[in-house]
Amino acid sequence: DIVLTQSPGTLSLSPGERATLSCRASQSVLSDYLAWYQQKPGQAPRLLIYGASSRATGIPNRFSGSGSGTDFTLTISRLEPEDFAVYYCQQYGRSPDTFGQGTKLEIK
Amino acid sequence: EVQMVQSGVEVAKPGESLKISCKASGYDFSTYWIGWVRQMPGKGLEWMGVVYPGDSFTRYSPSFQGQVTISADKSHTTAYLQWRTLKASDSAIYYCARMQTYMGFDFWGQGTLVTVSS
């Protein structure tokens, strides 16, 4: 199975700052089939980014994804109060699909 | 509008069987994979497996193979996750989600809380 390691585990930032979240794969992700999800307490996850860099429908352009192969990044250019949540990466290029362990983005 | 609506909270005893559901609407049910994801209390997301309703083909994570059964009923546009013998460690929230091959999980259900306790 492909293991996804997210870092940092927790990121403490203030609204208006830039957030950079990392997702590293234990082997190359096929076709860059790497997605990012946001999950707020008591809610289901929401798809933000797919194919490593494509924004899902309705996702604000302050969210961007980059990377290929084994190293991927989710960037939030300017944090809004509603962005504080847990973020997960997922690879869906090689079965079984796998998730990273998550990064908690908290208000500083 | 695509919707994935899951069945309600379940409380069961160890050793019992259980089947939870995910009713899909707003799209062609037969042509999209549906997956199940586990989230244990205070923990992250775990990919369990997927089913293709068009032909009922399934793929499982090795961690869940043989522990659960994933199925789909085209006539009711509903996917299912079932256990034959529940354990306390099966207590979790279970999410269903529609999967697109090139996108991952694009629409999610609201989650079903399963509590297994004697």
Q: How do strand B112-116 and strand B10-12 relate by DSSP bridges?
A: parallel
- Residue B34: per-residue pLDDT: 98
CB contact (8 A) between residue B45 and residue A35: no
Question: What is the C-alpha to C-alpha distance for residues A63 and A42, in angstroms, rounded to an integer?
Answer: 22
> Chain A residue closest to B62 (CA)?
A96
Q: Which residues of A touch B41 (CB under 8 A)?
A: none
Residues 55-94 of A with CB under 8 A from B: 56, 88, 90, 92
Q: What is the 3-state composition of chain A as percent helix, strand, coil, each rounded to the nearest 5?
A: 5, 50, 45
Structure tokens at B45: 């997301």
CB contact (8 A) between residue A98 and residue B44: no
- Residue B117: per-residue pLDDT: 97
Letter string b/e over residues B60-88, b meaning 16 or more CB atoms within 10 A of that residue's CB: bbeebeeebbbebeeeebbbbbebeebee
In this predicted model, what pLDDT tens digit does every residue of B27-55 receive, in sequence order? 999 999 999 999 999 999 999 999 999 99
Instruction: Report DSSP state, residue B1.
Output: -
The angle at the Cα of B44, spanning B40 to B49, to the nearest 5 degrees, equals 80
Question: What is the C-alpha to C-alpha distance for residues A88 and A101, in angstroms, rounded to an integer?
Answer: 7
Q: What is the mean pLDDT of chain B?
A: 97
In this predicted model, what pLDDT tens digit does every residue of A63-89 receive, in sequence order? 999 999 999 999 999 999 999 999 999
Q: Which residues of B touch A99 (CB under 8 A)?
A: 37, 44-47
> Chain A residue closest to B6 (CA)?
A44
Question: What is the C-alpha to C-alpha distance for residues A19 and A60, in angstroms, rounded to an integer?
Answer: 15
Question: What is the C-alpha to C-alpha distance for residues B71 and B78, in angstroms, rounded to an integer?
Answer: 9
B59 CB near a chain A CB, below 8 Å?
Answer: yes
- Residue A52: per-residue pLDDT: 97
- Residue B101: per-residue pLDDT: 87
- Residue A72: per-residue pLDDT: 98
Report yes or no: B116 and B90 within 8 Å, Cβ to Cβ. yes
CB contact (8 A) between residue B46 and residue A90: no
CB contact (8 A) between residue A44 and residue B46: no
Q: Which residues of chain B have pLDDT under 50?
A: none
- Residue A31: per-residue pLDDT: 86
The angle at the Cα of B92, spanning A55 to B88, to the nearest 5 degrees, equals 155
In this predicted model, what pLDDT tens digit does every residue of A19-66 receive, in sequence order? 999 999 999 999 899 999 999 999 999 999 999 999 999 999 999 999
